[in-house]
Amino acid sequence: MDIKIKAIESPEDIIQVEEIQRQVWAGSETEVVPAHMLIGIVQHGGILIGAYVEDVHSEKCVGFVFGFPGMYYTPDGPRPMHCSHMLAVLPEYRDAGLGYKLKRAQWQMVRHQGLDRIVWTYDPLMSRNAYLNITKLGAVCNTYLRNVYGDMRDEINLGLESDRFEVDWWVNTNRVNRRLSRRVRRPLTLEHYLKADVQIINPSQFNSEGLPCPTGILSNIIDNIKNEASKEQPPVMFLVEVPSDFDALKNADKNLAIEWRDHTRQIFETLFESDYLVTDFVHSPGSESHSYYVLSYGMSTL
């Protein structure tokens, strides 16, 4: 596809963004950021970038990324940052690398604004998003937010608490610059981590319907994390498993989806409290595919 990435500023183009939201987050008009609000934010420092394809004699917007200036607080006082609020691509244009292209353009524009940090949230059980955010873009995470948006009414989130990772994208770091360079980073696979004796905290098992299920007693898993983290030399890394296709799992068994939410919520919160942070994500393909977050001990990472 011949894709054009450009900033969106005109009211006519912003109305197209409204329509993309309706298609991606189907089922609830209340989840749509209206055009008049997008226009006001863009006119006052917000960034709205679109992905366009040729459509007959005009350009059609098929995806966008949207964010706005914000603040975070340090011991030395408040500092500015960019809050990336939405990234969406129409279903028929997914798996074409548009999400990566849009985020790369956002990275360039935010740097021109003189900011060094971008934050956004995503569902930690969505492997597709984890691969983009952590593996390809180089974001890191040590913040878990419980039910941050309350009960959402769109078809994607209906019936499940809106837990989210809040990721940090430090746009001027070597880590991020290398991920976004033209030279492709040598990917690390599950085998690399297993050869280094990195422990899988919560290996899953597949049930008779072919769905991955959490195993082990959760309280024992939590106790194991705390015991390992309290050692004089804590493990440098852990692996935490999540479903490879959470959307399919939700559609097949909502109760199992809820079980995964509670299971991983407590594991991630315990690891973050123990000074671990998410630094990578790996996928192991096959008839029974597996996906894992890599969590690194904070002091050794920094």
Q: What is the pTM of this model?
A: 0.92
Distance CA 84, CA 113 (A): 14
Q: Which fold has domain 4-179?
A: Aminopeptidase (3.40.630)
In this predicted structure, what is the pLDDT of residue 299?
65
In this predicted structure, what is the pLDDT of residue 254?
93
Domain ranges of the chain: 4-179, 190-301
- Long-range contact pairs involving 281-284 (C-beta distance under 8 Å, separation at least 24): 281/127, 281/130, 281/131, 281/134, 281/135, 282/135, 282/188, 282/189, 282/190, 282/193, 282/239, 283/127, 283/131, 283/190, 283/244, 284/189, 284/190
In this predicted structure, what is the pLDDT of residue 29?
62
In this predicted structure, what is the pLDDT of residue 233?
93
Tens-digit pLDDT profile for residues 156-193: 666 789 999 999 999 999 999 999 987 777 878 999 99
**Do residues 83 and 47 touch, judged by C-beta distance below 8 A?**
no
The three-state secondary structure class of 188 is coil
Provide the residue type at 45 as one letter: G
Which one-letter DSSP state was computed for residue 131? I
Torsion on CA atoms 14, 98, 24, 83, rounded to nearest 10: -70
Mean pLDDT estimate for the chain: 92
Distance CA 81, CA 123 (A): 21
In this predicted structure, what is the pLDDT of residue 57?
74
In this predicted structure, what is the pLDDT of residue 187?
79
Q: Kindly give the parts of the chain with pLDDT less than 50.
A: none
In this predicted structure, what is the pLDDT of residue 286?
86
In this predicted structure, what is the pLDDT of residue 182?
79
In this predicted structure, what is the pLDDT of residue 54?
84
Tens-digit pLDDT profile for residues 238-284: 999 999 999 999 999 999 999 999 999 999 999 999 999 999 999 99
